[in-house]
Structure 1
């Protein structure tokens, strides 16, 4: 165990410097940053990593072109600055994507769109992403799937990300730097005392462990306000919850591929909102999102029939071939925890984040709560959060994540000197195929996308497909399932099929059931680590038993 890892042995409470509550992108990013600065970090996530909002986004690394209409220039600039930082850090799970906006004269005027895209191009420096331009849709390949009345459009750049894998890569890096990360572990009580927080952690099997932490980070996402009002206990009656969240549901549908080219679309709607239509998982198109205010438990968020109809209707305004509700093969809904700002329209609520620090006037253990945020700015949010923690603890430690690779993102061992993120990935695919010619081409590309430079750890000494073990479902072998269990906290079939990958989209119900049964059987016959059951049991990552 690294010297600065949480002290996970011996009787009595587990001691750490910082307890992070929440295993979404913000919690995992903060744990990574803190651990990289040398603090002892423990993260507790009640479910799986990215089980909720952080696996249910539109999966874009973007500045947010539409936020310019709400004069969110600071947010857009901050996000635009982060795009290329992120693209360079993990070119296997993030890559540049070109967007086409067909011009509808009944919507925003062409001069306003040109102005917005000009600002989008110039609010932050670009090294990787090409600039915007006008396009003739009567001749350009992206015009073919569209109705003939759309004759002109605009093309600009943003990025794509596998959101759930981004969370896991942050968690892996946090662990590599000494953090202890516990999934399926709920914080049921956190009491503030003068110098420390005293918390109770409860595992899925009901076992409990006491934890002391010098500081507490509330990164519970949609549950951040509820955590402060119902779980965290102040030392002397002060109010811990001073902000309110506005929960906004964003739903998406997935349909069979609507177009063959590699660009995405951004469509303007009569209600002044926009939706995206994005190439997805080779065979599909992802369409979203909605903005519907949610009242009630975020855990039960589901797409409604009206949302499905809305997305189909708006996409059909542009595509020659209508998108029908019967075409939908999968859908998902994520709950955005937006900071309440009294905006009447959910679409207008700010996507910026606020980090609220609280030390009870210097008389209590530090608390940092994360309010709002978007996936594109997670790294900067985590950096700011770690700076705040250091300031409250009186221990300044320098930032380090700008320019750092995420696990699997450093490809030089496979391809030599890096050039551009998108071409570097293609070079990786070629290198993996050349080194392992027995791997099917489709499998080479999928594994390279998922694991990047870590693909060598998965393949190990295998010299044939037989060496990867039984094929549990098409293209999914026991070696990969074991790798996910042992290194990525995967415990169930859903963890594998819908978060560590999107293989669930490509499999039949029977094939998905086989994966689930294999994972259940493996958890029983070969548990990765035991859950903690009493005060003297060692606490480790991956409590899957």
Structure 2
């Protein structure tokens, strides 16, 4: 946690061009874009980086095929362009993947009509992916035997992208970019109060981990608080043309449904004629999502939610045994902060699923505040660029955008890493069947810092061994997380810097003899306290004493 303390010390008493409040995808990408163009930036979040809405996505980077239903062509065009840019900038982190959409009797479209839509989608996306295909029911059964074709009229296959790792890890890549460009960033730091004094905001901040309070100043504030933007603006006395409403979505993570030989997303229309998906996540499958109007950003998965999704997927797959609650390994739930105009009322009579998923950005010139409403992971680069334009309009000089604040390292750097990994026979350290090569994983997760991991393993071969057998994580990675990734709680690492909590059952995690070592590497003398907090959150019981 030394890096985090150093950043809080930089923030304390500082005067920044911009203070970004909220470190989900919108805040992280804004900080990276601004710092990358020469602004002095502070980024804070009262929780962890990517620790609320941004950790509950479908892990998809897509243009929004389903938004064609509502004729949101400009939105789909913008998202497809952003998807193509991300795919090019992050070739190891964002991969193209097939979406196989089965059209059965509950689907609102005939296969031929869906195929026309998929072809239009391909064109709107500037032909940046493989072309779509149309299958009849007999062909569908051959292509994906797990699908129950008894009521299928056919299927259409189109292409989009997905995150190989998890969404919050991707958010952290922008946090890391901001740091490398000189930004001061800190998680678990909340904004207690903010007052406009002359030409700047004077802000009181609190470290929620230690209780320490510090003061900082900024010429401009970016409100990137996600589902809490209205709450923050209200506290500052700001009136905006837009506001946020909430749609709850859930995902259930179960053992892999489809064959691991082919990574593809299965798409179906549920009984309400809304699309839901089966998304691959390594040796797991993610089923979701739902779309339920709620009045609070705090959500939980209910038995009704589980029964609905399991019932829908069991009715559409030809499984040896139906999926039950016992098959659920982990769950994800969160809200989509949807943007509506303030004069539109409470939207109680609106077709909820037709509300736009686009983002809006407002600027208050008198108070020097930029507010980001809504947004999607796919649209993040556009958000970063637009926020930079607004901040520049408020008088903060920015350098020319060289677009070097995002993306993976250069191809030559990648080539050199894989050359060194091959010479030291890195991939031979991995003996588990069905796991990806270590070199691929380390490069994807750490980029240039993966060279440090190689050095660590060369110096001490035990750094190349797993800490927790079921988690597939090296000791060297734990030390890197401890030193460079501002891990404050064990959940930060287990849920967000890694995806262990998403793919390993709680009982297996808590029963792992390596869990204590994970805590000791990450937290040193504070290991017992952090471990106890984690176990308490999982079970309501404290961790057993150290042996």
TM-score band (shorter)?
Answer: 0.7 to 0.9
Q: Answer whether contact 2:363 2:390 (CA < 8 A) is retained.
A: yes
User: Does residue 1:436 correspond to 2:422, yes or no?
Assistant: no
Deviation digits for residues 112-159 of structure 1 (CA, Å, limit 9, x no counterpart): 3123212211113234x2111112453455331011323621111000
Alignment correspondent of 1:351: 357
Which residue in 2 is equivalent to 1:189? 193
Q: 1:91 to 1:9 in 2, by over 3 A?
A: closer
Change (3 A) 1:516 1:179: farther
| Superposed displacement of residue 465, structure 1 | 6.7
The answer for the alignment partner of 1:13 in structure 2 is: 13
Deviation at 1:227, TM superposition (A): 1.2
SS in 1 for 2:203: strand
Which of 424, 446, 453 is equivalent to 1:451? 446
**Cα RMSD, aligned residues only:** 2.7
Quote the offset at 1:399 in angstroms: 2.7
Higher helix share goes to which structure? 2
**Structure 1 residue 429: deviation in Å?**
7.0
Q: Residues 221, 470 of structure 1: CA spacing in aligned structure 2 closer, same or farther, 3 A cutoff?
A: same
Aligned equivalents of 1:18, 1:513: Cα separation in 2:
45
Give CA-to-partner distance per residue, 1:73-94, whole Å, 9 cap, x none.
1111000001121112222321
Once the two structures are superposed, residues 252-285 of structure 1 have per-residue CA deviations (whole angstroms, 9 ceiling, x without a partner) of 00111111032111111231211010111x2111
Structure 2 distance, partners of 1:77, 1:31, is 25
Change (3 A) 1:91 1:513: farther
Other-structure match for 1:331: 331
Shift of 1:433: 4.6
**Distance in structure 2 (CA, Å) of the matches to 1:522 and 1:394:** 38
| Separation in 1, partners of 2:103, 2:177 | 43
8 Å Cα contact 1:42/1:180 also seen in 2: yes
The structure-2 alpha-carbon separation of the partners of 1:431 and 1:285, relative to structure 1 and needing over 3 Å to count, comes to: farther
Which position in structure 2 is the counterpart of 1:36? 36
- 1:328 and 1:477 mapped to 2: Cα distance? 26
1:387 aligned partner: 389
Distance 1:314 1:465, change over 3 A: farther
Q: Distance in 1 between matches of 2:181 and 2:396?
A: 21
The answer to whether the Cα contact below 8 Å between 1:132 and 1:156 also exists between their aligned partners in 2 is yes
Contact 2:34–2:398 (8 Å) recurs in 1 = no
1:434/1:348 CA distance change after superposition, 3 Å? farther
* Distance verdict in 2 for CA 1:516–1:461, change over 3 Å: closer
Structure-2 separation of matches of 1:382 and 1:263: 30
Contact kept in structure 1, 2:106 and 2:270, CA below 8 Å:
no
SS in 1 for 2:384: helix
Partner-residue secondary structure (3-state), 1:244: strand
| Alignment partner, residue 220 of structure 2 | 215
- Separation (CA, whole Å) in 1 of partners of 2:351 and 2:168: 28
1:466 pairs, out of 453, 458, 461, with 461
SS of structure 2 residue aligned to 1:309: helix
- The 3-state SS of whatever aligns with 1:459 is helix
Give distance in 1, aligned partners of 2:513 and 2:45: 26
Instruction: Report the Cα offset of residue 21 of structure 1.
Output: 0.2
Equivalence for 1:537: none
Question: Secondary structure, in 3 states, of the residue corresponding to 1:491?
Answer: coil
The answer (yes or no) to whether the contact 2:55–2:168 under 8 Å persists in 1 is yes
Task: Name the structure 2 match of 1:421.
Answer: none
Q: Cα–Cα, structure 1 residues 479 and 431, in superposed 2: closer, same or farther, change >3 Å?
A: closer
Instruction: Output one character per residue of 1:459-508: Cα deviation in whole Å (capped at 9) or x when no partner.
Output: 32423773417753124343211201211222222112211111232361
Do 1:229 and 1:240's aligned partners in 2 also have CA atoms closer than 8 Å? yes
**How far apart are residue 14 of structure 1 and its match?**
1.6
Aligned counterparts of 1:526 and 1:479: Cα–Cα separation in 2? 20
Q: Which residue of 2 aligns with 1:125?
A: 126
Q: Distance in 1 between matches of 2:518 and 2:280?
A: 31
Q: SS in structure 2 opposite 1:319?
A: coil
Establish whether residue 251 from structure 1 lines up as the match of residue 250 from structure 2: yes
Distance 1:114 1:470 in 2: 48
Within 2, Cα distance between the matches of 1:44 and 1:397?
23
Instruction: For structure 1, list consecutive stretches of 5 or more residues without a partner in the other structure.
Output: 417-427, 528-545
Would the aligned equivalents of 2:98 and 2:265 in 1 still touch at CA under 8 Å? yes
Q: 1:471 to 1:61 in 2, by over 3 A?
A: closer
Question: Whole-Å Cα distance in 2 between the matches of residues 89 and 167 of structure 1?
Answer: 15
Distance in 2 between residues matched to 1:63 and 1:309, nearest whole Å: 29
Moved over 4 A (4+): 5-10, 428-431, 511-514
Counterparts in 2 of 1:126 and 1:490: CA distance versus 1, 3 Å: farther
**How far apart, in 2, do the equivalents of 1:243 and 1:303 lie?**
29
Equivalence for 2:541: none
CA distance in 2 between counterparts of 1:271 and 1:18 reads 45
Map Cα deviations across residues 293-337 of structure 1 (whole Å, 9 max, x no partner). 2223x2x42112111111112212210123333321111102111
| 1:439/1:464 contact within 8 Å kept | no
Q: 1:109 to 1:217 in 2, by over 3 A?
A: same
What is the TM-score normalised by the length of structure 2? 0.84
Cα deviation, residue 292, structure 1: 1.4
Q: By how many angstroms is 1:104 displaced?
A: 1.7
Question: Secondary structure at the residue paired with 1:199?
Answer: strand
2:172 maps to 1:172: no
Which deviates the most, 263-272 or 453-462?
453-462
Q: 8 Å contact 1:90–1:410 — kept in the other structure?
A: no
Q: Which runs of 5+ in 2 are unaligned?
A: 1-5, 342-346, 528-547
Aligned-pair CA distance for 1:405: 4.6
* C-alpha separation in 2, matches of 1:513 and 1:349: 48
Q: Please give the TM-score of this superposition, normalised by the length of structure 1.
A: 0.84
